[in-house]
Amino acid sequence: MYRTVITGIGVVSPLGSDLDTFWSNLITGVNGIGQISRFDTTNFPVTIAAEVQGFNVDEFIDRKEQRRTDAFSHYAIAAARMAIADSGFDTSAGDPFRHGCIISSGIGGIVTTENEILKLQERGPSRVSPFCIPQILVNMPSGLVAIEHNLKGANFAVVSACASGLHSIGDAMHIIKRGEADMMLAGGCEASIGPIGVAGFAALHALSRRNDDPAAASRPFDKDRDGFVIGEGGTVLVLEEYEHAKKRSAKIYAEIVSIGQTCDAFHMTAPSDDGSGFARAIKHALDAAEVNASEVDYINAHGTSTPMNDRTETKAIKVGLGEDNARKTMISSTKSMLGHMLGAAGAIESAVCALAVKNGVIPPTINYTTPDPDCDLDYVPNTAREAEVNVCLNNSLGFGGHNACALFKKV
């Protein structure tokens, strides 16, 4: 079977929109959360979010095309271009039918949807944009990136809420492993910081209401956590067949070896309290990679900062790795700094795993001040840690009970 390695990373995020800035801010514990600037939050119960920082869309998309596309597509287009540049992969060379793309979103163009509905109600159907439908489609970022880079291989989007980005990377990995592609772009994008997005998640009581202290609002695994902070952005990875990458002397961040995928089949929004579904996903990832649980050095946790998720994920890690191995494994939630980027979360956290393997640094879980008896593992609190990372896992969970766990290794 063929092997899949990561040779390029592109990031648009609340901690910066180039790879060096993003990584530097992440490992120094910079917080990307603040007051919402996109719309008037008067009368909203939640007024904080993790908005994209340092991103100039004009550098990537001309003004005419910007008007025809939603922000979630902008993030994907930019991240894909940066990932290709980082990889040095020449998309004009080789067989375009062996180059593919899977870029996904959990929600898609929700801000465009809201704006166009307002136009319809206030000004009538003739004022609705002719680009409304392509703007909001979840598959459109993947299609637009393929058009720009002439990628004629497998191309689609995965929708599994907050597991979408990681499922996309897993699917792309399998396509390469089956010998169907030499290169796949894979990742996720999201731009849901708008009135209906914030109001909807707030109505679920899923969001932190620490409006007066946004820097401390996202606090995964901490006893005083009260919900997640909505984030946005996009991340795209260049996944490449190992021998193909080696032949062109490509820089390799890490190998993605396997993905475990299960469903809780329990509840629309809540994880199964015993963590059994996610524990099985962890075990599947280990078994498929033929890796022993004792070999796992680091886990980038889903770690949303909601009371139930963090408790359940801790249980799942203990069951999936075994209690003794779980206690020896370093775990961190970068959502403490990035907020929850929803459908892009699994993609940016895969990038974090690849960078941790490459650079030997574990990002911290910031805002960890009060231990929770139900969350009693090593969450790398507040300060990054230098450590050799040979094997790491990336955890992603999504509304609907979707679970994914990917395993990355040093090459």
Question: Which residues belong to the active site?
Answer: 162, 302, 340
Q: Which amino acid is at 227?
A: G
Alpha-carbon gap, residue 342 to 109, rounded angstroms: 13
DSSP conformational letter for 40 = -
Alpha-carbon gap, residue 38 to 46, rounded angstroms: 13
Token digits of residue 301? 């946790």
- Using a 10 angstrom Cβ sphere, with 0-12 exposed, 13-18 middle and 19 or more buried, the burial of residue 21 is middle
Nearest Cα to 336, choosing from 360, 377, 365? 365
For 105, residues 6+ apart whose C-beta sits below 8 A from its C-beta are 72, 138, 141, 157, 159, 164, 188, 189, 190, 342, 343, 344
Distance set, CA 358 to CA 11, 101, 266, 365 (Å): 16, 24, 37, 19
Nearest Cα to 98, choosing from 235, 16, 229, 2? 2
Nearest Cα to 191, choosing from 99, 123, 105? 105
DSSP conformational letter for 326 = H
Alpha-carbon gap, residue 188 to 172, rounded angstroms: 12
